[in-house]
């Protein structure tokens, strides 16, 4: 299996055709549907994890009393965090597909706290770059402050991702 790829299976109580229709609705709720192949009982699409795209492929196999859904998600990160989050949200949506409005946390997979941290990090990096260009000597004299800032950002990102 490639790095950043996550696979999972789930038993579903409906026939393969009904399962395929439910999967299409659920994938539309969390992202985009690229193709539905009714002959092969598969759905392909994508969702977002922050700014990264997570590709999702789903295959349905029939059983006597329902279906088995095989999920495969591939993200751009080595650990598969984006892929795991995309599958988690898709599985949540497929279990709530009977509701008229499927409520998932976010189409991007990031909460408000993570978006705020993302924006603060982008602003901080920009300010650091400008300061480095304008007065490199001042930055090198105060490297402890900048090192502490960078360590705090990394630590906070680790905590924010773990809590989501």
Can you give the CATH number for the domain in which 45 is found?
Answer: 3.30.530.20
**Do the domain assignments include residue 103?**
no
**Do the domain assignments include residue 38?**
yes
Which residues lie below 8 Å from residue 89, measured CB to CB, with a gap of 6+? 30, 47, 104, 105, 109
- Whether pLDDT at 14 is above 60: yes
Strand 52-63 relative to strand 42-49, pairing: antiparallel
Residues 22 and 74 in one domain: yes
**Do the domain assignments include residue 107?**
no
Q: Percent of the chain at pLDDT above 90?
A: 16
Could you report the per-residue pLDDT of 62-81, keeping only the tens digit for each?
Answer: 888 888 999 999 987 777 88
pLDDT: is 155 or 84 the higher one?
Answer: 84
Residues 33 and 82 in one domain: yes
Task: Report how far apart, in Å, the C-alpha atoms of 39 and of each of 16, 42, 101 are.
Answer: 11, 8, 28
Please report the DSSP string for 71-97 in residue order: EEEE-SSTT-HHHHHHHHHHHHHHHTT
Report residue 94 as tokens.
Answer: 């497929």
CB atoms within 10 A of CB 87: 24
Sort 76 into a burial class: Cβ within 10 Å, 0-12 / 13-18 / 19+.
middle
Domain that holds residue 136: 112-163
Question: 43 falls in which pLDDT band (50, 70, 90)?
Answer: very high
**Do the domain assignments include residue 101?**
no
Could you report the per-residue pLDDT of 96-106, keeping only the tens digit for each?
Answer: 776 655 555 55
Question: 144 falls in which pLDDT band (50, 70, 90)?
Answer: confident
Quote the number of domains for the chain: 2
Residues 78 and 151 in one domain: no
Of 158, 160, 33, 15, nearest to 90 (Cα)? 33
- Whether pLDDT at 162 is above 80: no
Residues 84 and 122 in one domain: no
> Which long-range CB contacts under 8 A does 51-55 form with residues at least 24 apart?
52/76, 52/77, 52/82, 54/82, 54/83, 54/85, 54/86, 54/109
**Do the domain assignments include residue 155?**
yes
**Do the domain assignments include residue 43?**
yes
If you average pLDDT over residues 138-156, what whole number do you get?
A: 76
Residues 30 and 62 in one domain: yes
Report residue 23 as tokens.
Answer: 């999967």
* Inter-residue contact 157 to 121 (CB < 8 Å): yes
* Inter-residue contact 75 to 4 (CB < 8 Å): yes
**Do the domain assignments include residue 28?**
yes
Residues 83 and 116 in one domain: no
Residues 21 and 77 in one domain: yes
pLDDT given at position 107: 61
Question: 109 falls in which pLDDT band (50, 70, 90)?
Answer: low
**Do the domain assignments include residue 100?**
no
């Amino acid at each position: 299996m490639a790095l950043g790829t996550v696979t999972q299976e789930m038993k579903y109580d409906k026939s393969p055709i009904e399962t395929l229709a439910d999967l299409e609705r659920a994938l539309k709720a969390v992202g985009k549907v690229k193709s539905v192949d009714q002959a092969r009982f598969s759905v392909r699409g994508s969702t977002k994890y922050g700014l990264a795209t997570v590709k999702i492929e789903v295959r349905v196999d029939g059983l006597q009393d329902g279906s088995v859904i095989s999920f495969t998600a591939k993200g751009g990160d080595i650990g598969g965090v984006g892929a795991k989050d995309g599958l988690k949200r898709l599985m949540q949506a497929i279990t709530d597909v009977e509701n008229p409005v499927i409520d998932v946390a976010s189409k991007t997979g990031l909460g408000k706290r993570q978006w705020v941290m993302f924006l603060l990090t982008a602003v901080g990096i920009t300010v650091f770059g400008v300061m480095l260009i304008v007065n490199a000597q001042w930055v090198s004299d105060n490297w402890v402050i900048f090192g502490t800032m960078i360590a705090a950002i990394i630590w906070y990102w680790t905590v924010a991702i773990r809590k989501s």
